[in-house]
Structure 1
Amino acid sequence: MARREPTIHRKEYVVPCTGCGSVIGAACYGKNGQRMKGVHDERAELYQEREAKR
């Protein structure tokens, strides 16, 4: 059976995070090392820039 890539539910996850170093598809982590509900501002900006180029 072919291996599927994980589904990315949050659109911002399609770019890596420069704020905490999370890779594509992974959640952002805050200063206390806990998983964030949202994403870092830098990551959201990278995603918006990526979409604007399309």
Structure 2
Amino acid sequence: MAHREPTIHKPELVVACSDCGSVPGAWCYGKAGQRMKGVHRVRAELYRERAGKA
């Protein structure tokens, strides 16, 4: 079976989160250790900076 990369539905997930330490492709986790519905503000800003350079 061929290896498939995970599908990323939220563009901000392509960068790692410097706030909670989530790797690219993984969701952000809150203080209670539960997956957040969105991403940390820091991660969203990192994505915007990255997208602006392209």
TM-score, scaled relative to structure 1 = 0.96
State the 4+ residue runs in structure 1 displaced beyond 4 angstroms.
none
Q: Residue 48 of structure 2: SS of its match in structure 1?
A: helix
Runs of at least 5 residues in structure 2 that lack an aligned partner in the other structure: none
Compute the displacement of 1:13 (Å).
0.2
In structure 2, the residue matched to 1:26 is 26
Aligned length in residues: 54
- Mapped to 1, the partners of 2:53 and 2:2 lie a distance apart of 32
RMSD: 0.6
Percent identity between matched residues is: 70
